[in-house]
Structures are given as structure tokens and as C-alpha cells.
Structure 1
């Protein structure tokens, strides 16, 4: 399946005579579904009879589907609503979509299950219970109609928002039946559809939130305004682990509009009657920081420490066979060291939160990937019972993992409580980049012992990387190994006589956290670059060598073969263009990518990327393709430019001039093809497209120039000589 989408064509097709936007119909009868309003957060109170916590049916036959995951550009509101609607058999012209209430989930026994959005898990971990919720609601509506008519439920069918008894010709709308259906308890839950019976899932559908975002009606956290709200700008300690010693508030409190200077967790804030005045006053505020012992550290020191950490002490990260014997056997040896820097998340919408603290409750407006955790953070900061916290989750202007831990929320609650009024905290772009929780820095040493025919007798992979678990304070790491440190290495798909993964978890004072594709982002770069090096040492074509090592993995082979065909592997290229390949599995999805790259005057330009994907099944092919394209561009940005460096203990980068992202001129032509294996496989899609792009680019550069890229970003590579 190949997906091509023209944003301009969609907007043009969606324009109505009234000058607004309409969601175009690609699936008959499911065209008019939309978000209930620009404010996506739902209410704790039902708008009509609930036919289960996910489904509300109004007397006007309107249907509200509640979604328990955050929409941050990945299309999850549309995909999850499609899963519900597949089973509900509803009248799509009456459908609306909103966020489920995290407060209700807390006080009502987790009726929405986990509401966290991350790990490419929204579809793969929600599908079954959402199908069940839709099927249960449908059967309760049928049961209500059957009871009303004195008919057998088996003789009634539901479709298009209507239940019919075909033998008698009677029919009733969902709205007419909802009240009775809400009171019905089914003796057993109905079976859900299998993929061969899907009518809606798997069909391309335009995203429901696009019209609101195109017209500016969508409410992001940064858009929130409340009566009497104060605005706050925050300065966090520039050196992580440092603290505020003092500040001279008298220098700014007489400024127009300034309300207060307040200490907050990790720093100091200035509150004013608008954000500009708060920001300017903060810039003029004399601050005395206690930077602590980390103030003497820098990136050169960290790089040396991570390299040294590869020599131990090392924990056992898994493997098989006798690696010592493999490395001691006669044959060729290949060894390489790969390095990656810290990376910022840099979402387009910088971190922000609005809080209204009162003695008996806290209301929060923000975009968060984990509203359940946000409740706990707000309760702790405000000194109230978590059951008295309501999170009004907004659209997220990008998350990539950063909005899973909400430092800005704690500060907003502290300020609101101190002022006794609503308070909105906005981190400037500089604060957002310099006070992030970063993708870990890492060094990886890769070794291979080759037999006489070039096949690997053994692989040894050693990684020195920061522990995300320790950095977040989530507890100890048993046996010195955490899953994200070894993902893609411990489950290396390539056949070899032996495999050993060794780990040294080493943290600096720089906080680290989940970043789009997590450990796979650095591990795929090292592994797929190294496999190319091993193939070259064996005198083999990179695709053919991978095919030989993946003989036991038909799922990988299907993607690899499709990728070779779709990319034109082996066909002639212009003399100044090289072609590289990488394939990787993460979050239950295999993604292979071929990059075609030119290098002119030392500048790398990615001309074309072909991606082949096996996630098992697709809910919405359009948003699935968008996620792969987005992931490719996010990883391309990191490969070309991404680098957070430390000097005197603090982050040097502060805005997009020093931490650039890929722009239109940097974007390649991207072709996405789905090679779906079906069965029980339902993989994630938000992240798996990111890991292969950096090694594919690096391998293309080698194919073109003969120079190996073993350290990122590419902006530091000397390719002009």
C-alpha cells in the first residue's frame, strides 16, 4: 500500500461555499465526524445517556466518542474514534470526539484505563478494549430495542445509528434507545470483529482535528486565557542541580504590570499582567545562583567519560552463544566506535501550563502526554487531594516525550497558589531548550568476528549511556541494565553464532528522558552503520548481506525485499548521489529506509527517502503515512544538526539559530509503502520511522565518498576535504 497526500489538495477540497472547512468524505457515511469544539477536553458530566464511559448518545441522536489519548499531531483522535465507530455502527454524521476525563478515570476505577500517550502505544494497546467498548454499546442498544419490541436481540441489527427489526419493519434511532440502553447490563460481552470483517478500520480518512487547526479554532495550552489571569516567565537554574541563592526583586517590582517575584521549583518567576512584561522584568532581575559542583563540566569531558565507560564495569545486557570463543576464533575482525550527543525535544509549542489553585480544588489547562501524572504533580505542588484536581488537556503542539513529565505544571500551581489567582507559565524557547530533559548522550563500541565466508561468528555490542530510569527518579535499575538502553541491540535480528550486549549506565548532571524512539534512536544508528561496515569487510552488497543474515526472519525479509524494489536498489544514480539502507524494529513495527544523499562543498543534502513499513495492520492509512514522514524528518533533523553541548555546566544552545531544525529546503522527497503482515501484529507508528534514517544517511555518505560517519551530527563531519 502506497500513500500520497497533498496538503494543498486537502484544503482545497475541504473548502465550503460558506468559506469554512469540511472534512471530505473518503469513507461513505463517516464524513462529518468532528471534534466537539476547539476545546478538546471533555466534561465529567455526560451530555446524554452514557452507553458505556466511551460513548454518549444524545436525544438528538448525536454521538460523542471519548478518547483517552492525547492528540499531539499524530492523528490519534481520528484513529481511535474509528476503532470505536467500527463496532458501534453509528451514524457518522452525528459523531463528535472529545478527550476523556482524567479526573473521572482517577475517581471511577480507571474506566478509561491508562491515559498516557507514549511508546507508540495508542492504537496497539487501546484497540482491543476500544473495540470492546464499541461492541458493548452496540449490543446494549440492540438489547434495549429488542426489549421494547418484545423481539429476540438476535433478530435485530444495528447500522448507521439505527436499530432495526427487519421481520416487522420496526426501527429506532440510537438517541431514542440510549436511555434504556444505559440501564442494561449484558450477561456476557460480545465478541469483537476480526480484521477480515472491518468496514472502517483500514480505510483512509482525513483527520477530524484538521479543520479546527486550519482555522485557528483549536485550543492549545498556550492559547488559554482566564479572567484575572497572571502571566509568568520563569528562569530555571542554568546548571542542572543548582539552586536559587537570592534575587533582588526590588529592581523590577516597580515596573509597569509586574505583580510579584516568586521562587519556584528549580528557579525563579516573575508574574505580571501580560507575558511580555513578565519576560522583560525577568531579564532585568539580578539573580544569584548557586551552580553547584557541576558548573565545571563540559561536553569534551563527557565524551571522554563515555568512551572510558566502555571499558567497564559492564553489566550483562543479554545475548546467546559463546562470544569469547567467537572473538578468539581465526577470521577477520571488525570494530567501530559510534557516538551520539544529547538531543533536545524542541516541540514547536514551548512548555506552558495554566493553573487555578483554590483551597478546595485545582484546575489545570495544558497539553500533557500523561494527564494522570499531571494530576499527581498538581496535587503535590498545591497541597490538595488528587481527587480535587481537574486537568483540562489541550491540543499539544508537539510532544516527542517531553510532555510526559510536566515541570512547568509544578511551577504554575506554585505561582497560582502564591498569588491567589489563575496563573499561566510560559517557558521561552531558550528556557525550553536549556531546561529540557534530553535524549541521552551515548558511546557504543561494536565488534564482529567473521568466518572465512564473511558470515558473523559473533557480535559484541557495548553501550555506555545515561539511565532514563535513574534520571527520572523512578527507582533502581536492577542488574545495571534498563530496557531502553539495549532495545535494538539485545534483540538484534541478524543471525550470528554468538551475541553479547554489555552495558554501562552512566549519568551526568544533565537530566535525560524519553525522546522520539528512545534507545532505538542511538542503537539503530550504531547497529545499522556497523552492519554496513561488516558487509563491506565481507565484500558483500549491503542489501544482500542483510538478506543472508535475516534468513530466519521472514518479516524482516519481506520489508527488506520491498524496500530494495521500491527504492531501485542497485540501479544507477547521478555521480554525486549515494544510496544507503537501514532497517530496524521498534515498538512492534519494522521500518526499512533507503536514503539518497548528495554531498556538495561539504554540505549533505538528503534528496529522497523511501520507507517500507510492517506494522501488521493499519487503522488509518493517511495518518499512518504522515507519522512515518514526520518521524523521518524528526530523525533527519537530529542526524544533520541535532546537538546539545555543555560548557561550564550549562547548555550552550538556546533557540533555533543554535539548535536548528530541518527546513523546507532540507526536506527530501519521502515515499512510504506499507508491507503489512497482518495476523496478530499491531505495531506502533509514531516513533519507528525515526531510528533508520540516521544510519541510512550515514551509509549513503560512505557509498558516495568512502568516508564513514561514526559520530553525529553530520554538521560536524569533515566532508569537504
Structure 2
């Protein structure tokens, strides 16, 4: 496989002893040069992205994307090291800070980082390898095609011809960059697809990484912010007279409906905050759970919907159907609950601003602060810290804006710290949604009509109108309706599809039962129809759907586990990846219990098998736990769950065993951090139905609405 180099515009400095290959994230460009001194190399602001090789043989890669536990900081260098053909022990990866001129898509979200950078990373490693080979060939006076590489060495055709990469960096840097490079064959991969430990594993286990909460800067003060307890309420007044007298307290200031307590230490600020007296506007007319149920009911009846998709004539087809199946599904608001609560540091000074903290979108944070304070973006530096989870919560910039605005008011560098209660009651939540499905079957049990209406609270379009089973059904109608709620919401792991998949896959299981068909075979029949005669636009590849379905049926021994093993099936396409799952439930002491889940994932090329398995297993456990246990409820705008004593997350002894398998197809890698979560709720609900003959229409499944499973 060959790739052609385009023009490269980045300048490189000169230094004997270090070979630096910069590669452009915008165009997959590459160039080589010798760097004048190591300090500029360590300054990510000076380079777009680069691979450097020291004369000791060490390979250094700067990773531009925030690491949030998705393993990108390990996966990126694996790709480069594979194409470079270097011993993994020689690789070191370092986190880059925000640089909007040199990097593109410094974002952790949407499971898109590796897909975006796959070709760029391969080209960086392959180009460096080819130049090192050329340098060695010239030194030996042989043809470069007669040389090969292995674990950081170039090996010549004659006995004794072997040179380490570090010994070749000077000569390689003086060569022209090749216009074409050849990638390694998949059959020669040694790192890609293998099990590689995370590059930060040891540091995490020994407490060395610096998270946002660990940030310490010269002259820094600490602040906590009191926000209105109810969504939709406003601050009327506050009394800080006693608070200002307390030890270590520097100031108490209000801004944008909030009151900040500023002090010398976290403990002193926390104690003072308890003494702060605030009064708020009347909350009697604010949103409660009953308000949301009323809105859902209205949304299901209104004719002011947006038609998201229309194939054929659904109404005519459903009128002729021999059998009609209908079902309604609902999910609550959910908190992200990352283990590290929100926090951010800001030092706002005339002409320059330093921001530091855990954010999934550093450039977005930079832009938001620039707009807030009316300053040029290029005056704002953003340092990226390690993150203790995010799941989409850190795609929002509210906590970064709080730190920047507060620093601009008090004229001091400040770290704003949220408590767990702040984190759980201050938004930003997974939107609550209700779905209504309707299907029409003909006399043969074939689906001839399919209907979906999604009603969301701050969810926008709560449907995915081009996804399967659309494309297999002749008559389809998909509608959406949205209510604007005062409760702040935002992306939550696998946005929209995290519950849509659960509802849809549960409904399709109900359709299969009504049609007297095996749920797996029914989907396979539909997908065969899509292959030969798709109806309208589709966004998925039926062959890849078929493959994960067939493999999971085989791996899970579908229908062959015995009388007390009740299986449920689910399959979904999201973030360009395909995941099929089979959940198993057993009756234990008179109660249904999910004991095992099997998943087969097609995410294209698996870069790090260890990281990939962790992502799939973690996504399934996350999806299972939230489907079973988690819920936020509201009374007059006030969240009723404020900590883990009332907002339940899955416990260790409640986790079923999970096995993860992958389709080995060599396709360019796609998303993996999110796709395993959406199908989990449906597989679990279908397994529990198989065990109890009771359908589950409302999450959480273990909540009062689904008592006595």
C-alpha cells in the first residue's frame, strides 16, 4: 500500500542528534529536520505534531487529544511505532497542550480521534522508517530495497550490517522526504492488534498523574461556588458577613446568579461555604417529575411534530396490517457522575490568560473564555490535565467559564472546585426521552410498516432516522418533538442512542415474538433485503451488521444454553461501529438476574486489544448499570438525588461477566469508546423478558416502575 506526500509548510530547526518528523493533522503531510535543541521539541506550541528519535534510539510522540480513559494516549503511539518498526520499550508519549495553529480536532468525544488520525499516524511512522533505511543503505552502498527493519534497527543484506535508528538520525535528517511511502502489511503487524499496557497505567496505580484537582500554581487561591438549588430559580440576596470573618477566607463575590467563596485552602472554603446564607426566588412553579410526564403525554398527542423520515405510506400500510404491535419506552435524566468532580484553574491577567484543567474540548473552552472576557483567543493558553472521567460532561465549558470569570473579578489565579453534590445537582444531564413505536405485520408475519415518535426534553431530534431497521421496511414514518426544559442537559455517553437503541431493540424483540420468529433470524432476513433492495437512504453497511450478528450467535451459543439460561439479543450501529450482544438471565432464588453478556464488535482495525476490550466491557457495564439502577428525579426544580447514597450506580457484586470479541476485517478503525453501550439495555431487557415474560418499558429496570422482576 502506498501513499503520496503533499507539500509540507512547517519549518524545522537544526540540531545534530535528534531526528524530528513533523506530520500535519490537516493533510497527513510529513517532513523531516534536525532540531536545534531539545527544549523546543518539548514545547508542543512550536510543532503541529511530530515524531522525534533521539540518538539513544528513544522515540517520542506528542499526543494532542485529551486522555479521558479511552486509551488514546496509548493507541496513537502504537500506530506510529508499528509503522516505524521500533521496539515498544523505546517509545515515550507525551501529552500536548492546546495549539489551534498546529493541531486539528483536539477533542475527546464522538469516538472519532483514532478514525481521524489513523492515516496521519501511519504515514508519520512509515516515512521515518523509509528515511532511516535510505540513510543506512547509502552508508553501506547497497540498494535500500535489500534492507529491512526490526525493532529499531536497520538490517542490511550482508553479514554484520545492522545499525540502530539512533545512529542514523543525522544522516536521515539530510535526506529528501520521500514522495511515496509503503505501509507494512497487516500480516507483519507486531503491535497493532496485540495486548499493550496503557502508557500511564503504572503512574495511575502509584498516584503520580496530575489531575485537574491536583493543579497547583504560584499565588493560587481556591474557590467553591454556590449555585441556585433549583433549575429556574434566581439569586435574590446573600449574607456573607460571618463568612468573611472565618479563617482563611479572602473574599465572597457574586456573579451570574452565583456566589463564590474564595479562600486559601479547600477545607477553609468548604467550612465557610456552609455558613453562607442565600435566598432565592419562589420555586413553586418550577419543573417536577409530574411536569415532565405531562409534557411527554402532550408530545405524544401533538400534531406539531417534525417529520424526520417518511418512506412509502405508513398510515395506509398500518391500516391493512394483519397484526399491529405498539409499545412506549421512557428513560429519566441521568448524571454523568465522573469520579473526579468538575474543576478548573484560571489566571486572568492583562494581555494573557492561563487555563488548566480537565476538559474534553480545550479549543472550545478557549473560544468560550475569549468570548466571555472579550479578549483574542491567541492570548489564552490551555494546559491539559489528566481527567478522572467525563462521559460527555466535560464537553461543556460551564466550569471553565466560572473559573475564568471569577479570576477576572478577584484579579487572582484561582482553582474552582465542585463537590460531589455540586456535580450531581448542577447539570449537565442526559436528557429524559419517551419513545413510541408501532409496527404492522402482514399475514406472513413480515413487517410492512414501522413508526417511531421521539419526545425529548432538551434532546433536539431524539431519533436516528437513517439507522436500521430503516432501509428494510417499505413504509416508515419517524417523527420527533422537543420540549425546552430549564434543566440543563448535554451529551451523555453515546448521545441519543444510549436509550434509543435500548427502546428500539426491545421493541423489535416484541415484534419477533408477535411474528413467531427468532429475533436474530428476523434481523438477518431484513438485512438480506437491504443488501438487494434498500428502501431510501441508509447510513450503515448491511454486511458488517450481518457479520457481528452471526458471530455473536455463535459465540453466545444462541438458543443452546439450556432451560434455565434465558437469552436476549440486541444489535446496534453507532459512531461508525457495529456491536451485537447476547445477554443471559437466570432465575436465582425466585428472582431474575443477568449473569453474562457476550459482545461482538466491528470497529475496524483493533489497535490495542487490551484497550479495546476495556472499552467494550466498560461500556457494557456502564450501560447495564445505568439501565438497571440510575435515575435523577426533580421536585420544583430541585434534583432529589445529591450523592451516591440516593443516586445508585452499579456495585461490584452486581456486575455480570462480560466477554468481548472483535471482527478481524482490517478496515480502518472507527469509534469504540461509545458503541458498546447503546445495545446493552435492549439485550438485558430482552433476556429479562425471556426469564420473566414481563416487558420492561421504563428505566431504571430495577426501579419501582418495574418491581418484582
- Relative to the length of structure 2, the TM-score reads 0.86
Q: How does 1:120-519 map to 2 (within 5 A)?
A: 120-142=111-133, 157-163=148-154, 166=157, 173-178=164-169, 181=172, 186=177, 188-193=179-184, 195-265=186-256, 267-290=258-281, 295-311=285-301, 312-468=303-459, 482=461, 485-487=462-464, 490-492=467-469, 495-519=472-496
The residue matched to 1:595 in structure 2 has which SS? strand
Q: Deviations over 1:535-570 (max 9, x none)?
A: 111122323333333334332222222222222322
Q: Secondary structure at the match of 2:383?
A: strand
The CA deviation string for residues 621-655 of structure 1, in whole angstroms up to 9 with x for no partner, is: 11111111110111112111121112111222111
Give yes or no for contact 1:239–1:291 (8 Å, CA) kept in 2.
no
The residue aligned with 2:502 is 525
CA distance in structure 1 between the aligned counterparts of 2:370 and 2:504, rounded to whole angstroms: 43
In 1, distance between residues paired with 2:666 and 2:88? Answer: 28
TM-align CA RMSD: 2.8
Give the match's secondary structure for 1:364. strand
Corresponding residue of 1:568: 557
Instruction: Measure how far apart 1:457 and its partner are.
Output: 0.5
* Cα distance in structure 2, aligned partners of 1:62 and 1:366: 29
SS at match of 2:244: coil
Aligned to 1:709: 696
Cα distance in 2, alignment partners of residues 673 and 150 from structure 1: 48
C-alpha displacement of 1:687: 0.7
Q: CA deviation at 1:213?
A: 0.6
Counterpart CA distance in 2 for 1:325 and 1:698 is 31
Pair 1:291–1:205, CA change in 2 (3 A): farther
Q: Secondary structure at the match of 1:128?
A: helix
Q: Give ranges in structure 1 of 5+ residues lacking alignment.
A: 1-42, 470-481
Distance 1:44 1:583 in 2: 50
Deviation at 1:145, TM superposition (A): 5.5
Q: Which moved more, 1:330-339 or 1:150-159?
A: 150-159
Alignment partner, residue 98 of structure 2: 102
Residues 1:440 and 1:48: Cα distance change in structure 2 (over 3 Å) = closer
Q: Give the structure 2 partner of residue 557 of structure 1.
A: 546
Which residue number corresponds to residue 58 of structure 1? 54
Alpha-carbon separation, structure 2, partners of 1:51 and 1:380? 26
Deviations 1:157-196 (A, max 9, x none): 5543344554696665444544565566525252444544
Q: 1:121-140 CA deviation, whole Å, 9 max, x = no partner?
A: 12222211111222233344
Partner of 2:655: 667
2:96/2:384 contact within 8 Å kept: no
8 A Cα contact 1:517 1:691, kept in partner: yes
**SS of the residue 2:241 aligns to:** helix
Pair 291,169 (structure 1): closer, same or farther in 2 beyond 3 Å: farther
> Match of 2:40?
45
Asked whether the 8 Å contact 1:78–1:208 carries over to 2, the reply is yes
Corresponding residue SS for 1:460: strand
Range with greater deviation from structure 2 (360-369 or 326-335): 360-369
Report if the CA contact (8 A) 2:48-2:103 is conserved. Answer: no
1:400–1:516 CA contact under 8 A, matched in 2: yes
- With 426-435 and 168-177 compared, the bigger mean Cα shift is at 168-177
Q: Quote how far apart the aligned CAs of 1:601 are.
A: 7.9
Question: How many Å separate the matches in 2 of 1:658 and 1:44?
Answer: 51
Q: 5+ residue gaps in structure 2?
A: 1-37, 532-541
Q: Aligned to 1:693, which of 680, 697, 701?
A: 680
Q: Does 1:653 align with 2:653?
A: no
Q: Distance in 1 between matches of 2:146 and 2:285?
A: 75
Distance 1:558 1:564, change over 3 A: same
Contact 1:51 1:178 (8 Å CA) reproduced: no
Equivalent pair of 1:239/1:295 in contact (CA under 8 Å): no
Cα deviation code 1:340-364 (max 9, x no counterpart): 1111111111111122233232222
Q: Contact conserved, 2:222 with 2:266, CA < 8 A, in 1? A: yes
Q: Aligned ranges for residues 610-621 of structure 1 at < 5 Å? A: 610-621=598-609
Counterpart secondary structure, 1:296 = coil
Indicate the residue corresponding to 1:545 in structure 2.
522
Question: Structure 2: how far apart are the matches of 1:376 and 1:129?
Answer: 26
Distance 1:302 1:603, change over 3 A: farther
- Secondary structure of the equivalent of 1:462? strand
Size of the aligned set, in residue pairs, is 657
1:244–1:74 distance in 2 versus 1, CA, 3 Å: same
Deviations 1:458-506 (A, max 9, x none): 111111124457xxxxxxxxxxxx4xx3227644367222222111132
User: For the Cα contact (< 8 Å) 1:297–1:649, is it kept in 2?
Assistant: yes
Check the 8 A contact 2:132/2:168 in 1, yes or no: yes
Report the CA distance shift for 1:47/1:424 in structure 2 as closer, same or farther (over 3 A): closer
Q: Distance in 2 between matches of 1:568 and 1:84?
A: 38
On the 8 A contact 2:118/2:668 being kept in 1, the answer is: no
Question: Structure 1 residues 186 and 718, CA, compared in 2 at 3 Å: closer, same or farther?
Answer: closer
Give the TM-score of the pair, scaled to structure 1: 0.85
Match of 1:9 in 2: none
